[in-house]
Structure 1
Amino acid sequence: MKYLQHIIIYLLFTPLLSFILYLFTAHTWINLINVTFYISMILAIIFFIILITQEGILDPTSFGFRRLKYQLTRKKHRHTLDEDEFFKPTKVKKDVYIVSPWVKIGFICNLAYIAVSILISFAI
Structure 2
Amino acid sequence: MAKHKIFSMSFKSVYPHYVAKAERKGRSKAEVDQIICWLTGYSETGLAHALDAEVNFEEFFDEAPALNADRHLIKGVVCGVRVEEIEDALMREIRYLDKLIDELAKGKAMEKILRKAP
Give the TM-score taking structure 1 as reference length. 0.26
Comparing both structures, which one devotes a greater share of its residues to helix? 1
State the TM-score, normalized to the length of structure 2: 0.27
